Structure formats: C-alpha cells, structure tokens
Structure 1
Amino acid sequence: MSRWLGLTAIVLVLLVVHLIVVSRDRTVPALAVARDVGTMQPIADADLVAIDLVPEHGVRFVPADERRVVLGRKPAFGLLKGTLLTSTSLKPEGAPEADTQVVGLRVGPGHRPSQELWHGAYVCVSPLPAVPSCDASSTGEGAFRARIAAVGTPEPGGAVVVDLLVDRETIRFALAAAGSGAILSLIGV
C-alpha cells in the first residue's frame, strides 16, 4: 500500500509541475503586420493578422481585440510583414500630418459649448474681440475651421486648453487666436 501512496505522490507532483510549466507558456492573441505598411499609409484590416504570443515582460504588444482601434491609424515608421505591432509602432492619435501643425488654444468658460469637446470634433474658431463667424462670407476675417487633436483637463477657473490641428493656410489665424483668445463653436461636417 505504501508503494501505491508513493507512486500517487510522484504522479501528483509531476501533474503540478506540468500545470505550472503549461500556465507559464499561456499564449494571448496579438496583432502583427500581414504585409508591408509604409509610414504615410493608414492601416487597413488586410494589413493585420492575429497571432498567438507568449507575453514577455516589457513588450507592449497590441492585443488582437484592439484591432478596431488600430484601423485607420498610421505607423510611426515603415512596418515590414511579420512585425509584431506595439504601442510605439503607431503614431499617436492627433499627431499632425504633413503640412499641419498643432496649436494649443486656452479657452475660458463661456467661450465654448457647455457639452464636452472631444478628439476629432470640428470647431469654428472665432478670435476675440471681433468674433467673426465661419460662414462662407467670412473669408479673410480671421475665423477658421479646425479639428480638435486633444482636450486638456479643465483648470479650477473653468478654462481648458484645446489642441487644434491647423493647416498651413490657417496657422497665422490660429496663432493670433492663441494670443488674444477665441470663442469655439462645434460645427458639423
């Protein structure tokens, strides 16, 4: 009987060791590049493939369930087929494209809609004190349309810094508005 007890103990120890080894090699689905993607090329669904990956400490891979977040983003550098997609492989959202700049505009309370502003929203920027509108007849008056790149945390007094993506034609108006203040209004596109 002690022989059976010893054999059972050995089998249990081997089973526990096996479970520990298997659990350490558990894979998770991650995204890799299915074909070469250039730096100016938005990532499409056909550019991605899900792979099984044993996670390593320090490797910040993009999980396969974040596929929709990656679609449309541009790589920070050219990606070759088979490259594991990491958080540093992608340009940050709101990063300026060629011929655009990001301008921070401090907007005080009462100078923006009461609803929350969000990344990607389009706004009309009307510089103070003239406050021109963004309609078609206002060209040259200093008002301009822009897309929001980011929205900062509101200050205790209610002001908030809004980062705007502006093109080369409107940069001088954006810089003037950043210096003198402006009113933001949400616009449809």
Structure 2
Amino acid sequence: MRPLQLKQRLEGKILQPTGQSYAQKGVSEPYFLTILQMYFGEITQFGGEFPIPGSKYRYSQDIILIDPASGLHFDIEIDEPYEGKSKQPHHCIDEAQDRQRNQFFLAGNWIIVRFAEEQVVKYPHACCGYLTDVIATLTGINYHHKKLKKQNLPLVKCWTRNDARRMAAWSHREQYLEQTGIFRQTKKRKPK
C-alpha cells in the first residue's frame, strides 16, 4: 500500500493522547531522543499520556515517531531491566503489564517498537537504522540518512523477574550507563 493510501485509511483511526505525559523520564530517554532527532527531525518527540479504561492510571509513551507521509504512529519504548532507585524488576517477560499495555496501543493502531535500554545507550545509531528498516518495510519510505552507517543491532535477550534481580545485584544497568557516559554513579565515601 502506498503511503498516501495508508494515510487516508488511518485518518481518524489512531488513538490520540489526552495530553502531555508528566511521567518521570528515564535517564536514557533524552539521550536517545536527541539521536533520533539527528536522523528523523521533529517527527520524533516525547510521547503523550492516555487514560487506561476502568482505571485511575494512565499509560505514557517514552518517545513517539509520527510519519507524516503515511500517517503511521510509532510508540518507541525503552525497556530497563529494573528501576534505578528501588532496583525493582521492570519490563519482565513473565509479567503481564507490558503485554496489556501493548494490546492497548495496538488496538489504538499504534506500532510499538521496544528496545532494551542497553541497546539504546550502547548502539543508538543501530537502533535508528533498525527504525528506518521498519518504516521502509511498512511504507516503502526510506529515511536512511547519509550519515547513518548500516550497523547490526545486537540482540538483548528479554528478561524475567529473576534475571532482572540478578542484573540489579550486579549493577548491570549502572555499568552500561556509566560506560557510555550517560550516568555517573556517585559512590559514597567513608568518613575519615
């Protein structure tokens, strides 16, 4: 289907946010948005918020990409294995929260692209290349930027709650965030 035909078919059929998201942003989200905007410009931005039917809570999107030619709306999620402060497991494959959230957005005609936070911070340009491939596959539109060198995006295995607990115990997240310069751990010094 050509992009214009796709846009016409999607007109008025994509669930829209009720407002700006005020959810706390992860440490990698502003970093990755900056990289995305190098290649995609202003069609990428922080996402909005959506009321969850039958609940007082709302879903928030990390980053969105709205393709103006086809009308496709992409929800780009950055999955951390555990919460930064509490170390509680997060985005685990043996929990239903992300599946329910995905179903909500799929029913609203959004395309969901999930990256592991580790992929986004270690291989941000490869993540952008992956997105250009997804868009090209769905629309035929090539957003491939001259500066975007084709790189393979290393896979990161999905994790369970137990995997996430182990990663938290090993400070896995802090290690890759510190290695890439996105986050500096502050080590407490013992008083003399």
TM category (shorter chain) comes to under 0.3
Higher RCO (CA < 8 A, seq sep 6+): 2
Give me the TM-score of the superposition, normalised by structure 1.
0.22
- Structure number with larger C-alpha Rg: 1
